[in-house]
């Protein structure tokens, strides 16, 4: 199982709404993530808007490709895009995995 961690930056003035949106993630989005192989997926954030994501998956590239092919992901990403700073494209394209330097099992 691959452990993946990434960071994104939410605009500070949109952070409260970003948190609210994630308190009620659409059931069909949750189902699509699970079906695409996203497990133990968590998002954490600082008061300044730094978001740290963590998930476990068999193959991160495949999991992202599967999500990219879903209609619910297209809708979700379109709604989430305005929340972020300095993205090269859609939010999921900004999910660049961090290099793991230590793990204690």
- Set 22, 30, 39, 75: catalytic member: 22
Q: At what angle do helices 15-23 and 71-80 cross, to 10 degrees?
A: 150
Q: Are 28 and 36 in contact (CB under 8 A)?
A: no
Is 22 among the residues known to form the active site? yes
CB atoms within 10 A of CB 42: 10
Q: Give the phi and the psi of residue 65 in degrees, each rounded to 5.
A: -60, -45
- In DSSP terms, 57 is beta-bridged to 2
Structure letter (DSSP) for residue 81: G
* Residues 61, 63: Cα–Cα separation, whole Å: 5
**Which residues are annotated as catalytic?**
22
């Amino acid at each position: 199982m691959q452990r993946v961690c990434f960071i994104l930056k939410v605009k500070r003035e949109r952070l409260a709404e970003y948190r609210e949106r994630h308190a009620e993630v659409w059931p069909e989005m949750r189902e699509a993530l699970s079906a695409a192989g996203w497990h133990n997926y968590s998002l954490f954030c600082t008061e300044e808007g730094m978001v740290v994501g963590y998930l476990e998956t068999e193959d991160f590239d495949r999991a992202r490709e599967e999500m990219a092919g879903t209609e619910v992901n297209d809708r979700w990403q379109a709604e989430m895009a305005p929340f972020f700073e300095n993205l090269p494209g859609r939010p999921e394209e900004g999910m660049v995995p961090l290099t793991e330097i230590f793990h204690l099992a």
